[in-house]
Amino acid sequence: MTNWDEIDRYAKQWIKEAGERIRNSFKMELIIETKSNPDDLVTNIDKETEQFFIENIAKTFPGHQILGEEGFGDSIQSMKGITWIIDPIDGTMNFIHQQRNFAISVAVYEEGVGQIGLIYDVVHDELYHARKGQGAYLNSTEIKPLEEVPLERAIIAINATWITENKRIDPKLLIPLVNAVRGTRSYGSAALEMAYVVTGRVDAYITMRLSPWDFAAGIVLINEVGGVITTLEGEPLNFLTENSVVVANANIHNEIFTKFIKRK
Ligand code: IPD
Ligand code: CA
Ligand code: CA
Ligand code: CA
């Protein structure tokens, strides 16, 4: 039998320790490199943080597989068994430019089902955490289930890229949505944007391309407050590829699809 309390205790301990290390790194000079393009950034702190988790997980839970953005974990072929999914710094551009608006995202799945989701806003020392079926919390405060919000009073998190000419969606579909809602925001950290949907600070987050480490923890949290998360096709997300993501309060999710995207 899997001891989920033990896994949860370690996951929380490690995410707090990793956050402490990141806060301490603010005094030091960063080593910044680029990956797929000049705006795709990674630092020594992203890499060290991922290695910190992997060393601890491998030592404590040798049978678990680990998927991490910076590639120090396993190359995952399936979600069989227990899988940790880690984004050591989600919002690296913000981490470098702003020293805020980034988070550590850690999730633990069993046979493809999310059991633990943790999103740690390091600068504010705010841990969003959830266990499947046990509610979602912000530090020690339980997060209330989401209530219905009329679309005209909704705030939607969306990056401007997706309402200009782009390869993934016809902006004509999203412009009327942007016009219909009360306001739009873009924070530059998918994990935090999902945590903001969970807490009702925004009512939806729409993006065309995320990787499993960006949304794995967010899914566990959103499920606990009655939110809905799908691809742009209305399908469940796939943990082995990139995905488009529409995550929202349930009634807003429904309205986005029925009135604007019409693909569900
Ligand atoms: C990125 C951030 C960003 C999102 C990108 C992600 P990273 O993650 O979440 O908000 O728009 O798609 O790749 O690279 O900073 O971990
Ligand atoms: Ca990255
Ligand atoms: Ca990320
Ligand atoms: Ca990252």
* Domains parsed from the chain with CATH numbers: 4-143 (3.30.540.10), 151-261 (3.40.190.80)
pTM of the predicted model as reported, rounded to 2 decimal places = 0.97
Cα of 190 to ligand 1 centre, how many Å?
Answer: 6
pLDDT at res. 1: 85
- Asked whether 214 lines ligand 1 (CB < 6 A), one says yes
- Give 87 Cα–ligand 2 centroid separation in angstroms: 8
Query: Is 188's C-beta closer than 6 angstroms to any atom of ligand 1?
Result: yes
Cα–Cα distance, 208 to 160 (Å, whole number): 12
Residue 157 near residue 205 (C-beta atoms within 8 A)? yes
Atom of ligand 1 minimally distant from the CA of 102: 15
Q: Tell me: pLDDT of 256 over 70.
A: yes
Taking the CA of residue 213 as reference, the ligand 1 atom at the shortest distance is 16
Q: Running DSSP on this structure, what letter comes out for residue 163? A: G
With both helix axes pointing from N to C terminus, report the angle between 44-60 and 4-25 in degrees, rounded to the nearest 10: 160
- Residue whose structure tokens are 């988070």: 103
Q: Distance from first CA to last CA of the chain, Å, rounded?
A: 38
Ligand 1 mutation pick, 158, 210, 213, max ligand atoms within 8 A of CB: 210
Q: Is residue 264 predicted with pLDDT exceeding 60?
A: no
8 A C-beta contact, residue 175 and residue 158:
no
Q: What is the pLDDT of residues 195-244, one digit of tens each?
A: 999 999 999 999 999 999 999 999 999 999 999 999 999 999 999 999 99
140's CB contacts (< 8 A; 6+ apart) are none
Closest CA to 198 of 259, 135, 261: 135
Ligand 1 neighbour 189 (Cβ under 6 A) = yes
Q: Which residues pair with 205 in a beta bridge?
A: 157, 247
Helix H or strand E encompassing 98: helix 92-98
Complex-level ipTM: 0.98
| Residue located nearest, by CA, to atom 1 of ligand 1 | 91
